[in-house]
Amino acid sequence: MPNVFYVTGYSYQHQIRAIRRQHDELSAITPIKKVLIANRGEIAVRIIRSCRELGLQTVAVFSEADRTAIHVRMADEAYFIGESPSSESYLVADRVLKTALDCGADAIHPGYGFLSENSTFARDCEAAGVIFIGPSASSIEAMGDKTAARALMEKAGVPMAPGTVDAISDHKEAAQIADQIGYPVLIKAAAGGGGKGMRVVLDPQDFISSLEAASREATSAFGDGRVFIEKYISHPRHIEFQILADKQGNVVHLFERECSIQRRHQKVVEEAPSSVLTPELRQKMGDAAIAAARSCDYLGAGTIEFLVDKDMNFYFMEMNTRLQVEHPVTELITGIDLVAAQIRVAEGHPLPWKQDDIRMNGHAVESRVYAEDPSNNFLPAPGFLEQHSPPAGFGVRLDAGVEEGSEIPMYYDPMISKLSTWGSNRQEAIARMSRALEEYQITGVPTTIPFCHFVMNHESFTSGHFSTHFVADHFSGDALRNTDPDLERDLAMAAALYVDAYHSAKNGSAKPVEVTEVSRWQKNRRD
């Protein structure tokens, strides 16, 4: 029998095994030194900041429209990759990868949108020896095809709305399946997202025509006309779980985000945590999210999206294999830098937390500020920011890739910024958001700020009794039009004075402005 020596309660042999295990873990780590950010706007700025804190060099890429953008100036290096349309710049995968290779970047962070869920790009990065800060190509493919994802979820035991697992090939058979499920039903494209290739069918007589229309739209948008059917959940809550996974097989969730305030099937206001989940339901949904991530051997940050019906049953909707736009609210309630975590697990480091180590602290709300006109069906409104004066104060965070004078180009998503607030509870976070929105001054383009302020002060939202149909049920453009003629006059006068002063200062011909009428603010001021 070999001699065994005991040190501080552990055997010498145990210590040797621990040292060997640590050596194996360290040898599997590939340090990242330089990161190319294959994106633009606020998310590019966000990634650059985390990279700096980690001591990493950063590389920006830019289109013609973004030559003077903030992310270009912030990065250590910046390279022109094409003309303004994304199809000629940010979506040209081989050009982005060649830039990374030419400048010596050993990793690429795709952000969200553009190439973030392009499995071919992820695979090409791996083949070229460049770390793709995201999941594997196979995971992206598995979750990018909604029918393949449903098959995985069925196997993993994740709840799904009744429907077809495979794509529909026979229209007559599909109609029979719809009858069995029960109307209303939802026809969805197997590929892509963003509400394209989607139809709600209320009447059996409309099923075939809706099926054909959805398939045509999916073919046009994604080059793939396959569709499937599932039961339509009327007035659901849209609740998603943030997950993180490492190469060692560890998976945790960072709780949920409520994303039910939407227009055109796209989110505008998010919060964390949801106001309707009980601790028991939160645990069940979190366990389901982890099972979903494990089903495709996931790596990095991802989001499992669920629909929750009026009876608090939850159903898998889809998985986003990337960082989400709304990740700041999760960071605010957990204190975890998701971008830094993405980079660490991409290097090969194990997650530093077990599930029980992650705690929620307080409540966070995010308002997406778009250059859109909410009084005109949220019509995009690109243009120049004549004024951009962000709010500040305790518990206020602004993620922006713009400044005063910046252009919101017509070529990309019209996001200006993401405004997030934290509070010790939901009421405090909402009140802080309402205050911050009032402080946030933008001129030159219409924005979603008035709509977000409308949400913060609507009883349906503040009480927590709302659904994905909030806009249809409670909002119209008329809600943002002031009925107080005195207030409208004061606002018009203030806007005119600002524009005059702005252009005079810009031209070097500033002159005193005489106010001929006292405003209501001046009348009511208390000295």
The domain locations on the chain are 34-133, 162-231, 237-480, 485-524
* Residue 380 near residue 398, CB atoms below 8 Å: no
- Cite the beta strand spans of 33-138 per DSSP E: 34-37, 57-63, 77-82, 107-109, 131-132
- The C-alpha atoms of residue 235 and residue 179 are separated, in whole angstroms, by 21
SS3 46: helix
Q: Name the phi and psi angles at 364, rounded to 5.
A: -135, 145
Give the helix ranges, DSSP H, for 367-469. Answer: 426-439, 449-456, 459-463
- Side-chain half-sphere CA neighbours of 282 within 13 A: 17
* Backbone CA torsion sign across 259, 260, 265, 267: negative
Per-residue confidence (pLDDT) for residue 502, from 0 to 100: 40
Residue 188 is encoded by which pair of tokens? 């969805």
- Side-chain half-sphere CA neighbours of 46 within 13 A: 28
SS3 114: coil
- The C-alpha atoms of residue 318 and residue 298 are separated, in whole angstroms, by 14
Residue 85 is encoded by which pair of tokens? 């349309």
> Which residues are identified as catalytic?
322
Q: Name the phi and psi angles at 455, rounded to 5.
A: -60, -50
Per-residue confidence (pLDDT) for residue 517, from 0 to 100: 36
The CATH code that applies to domain 34-133 is: 3.40.50.20
* Residue 389 near residue 405, CB atoms below 8 Å: no
* Residue 184 near residue 212, CB atoms below 8 Å: no
H/E segment holding residue 239: strand 237-245
Residue 146 is encoded by which pair of tokens? 């909604």
Residue 511 is encoded by which pair of tokens? 């002159």
CATH 3.30.1490.20 fits 162-231, yes or no: yes
Of 237, 246, 242, which is closest to residue 303 (Cα–Cα)? 242
- The C-alpha atoms of residue 441 and residue 449 are separated, in whole angstroms, by 9
- Side-chain half-sphere CA neighbours of 106 within 13 A: 10
Strands lying side by side in the sheet with 227-231: 198-201, 185-189, 227-231
Residue 64 is encoded by which pair of tokens? 């013609």
Q: Mean pLDDT, consecutive 10-residue segments, the chain of 527 residues?
A: 40 54 66 98 98 98 97 98 98 98 98 97 98 98 93 96 90 92 94 82 95 92 91 96 98 98 94 98 98 98 97 96 98 98 98 97 98 96 97 98 96 97 98 98 98 98 97 92 49 46 44 34 33
Q: What superfamily in CATH does domain 237-480 come from? A: ATP-grasp fold, B domain (3.30.470.20)
CA 186, distance to chain mean position in Å, is 24
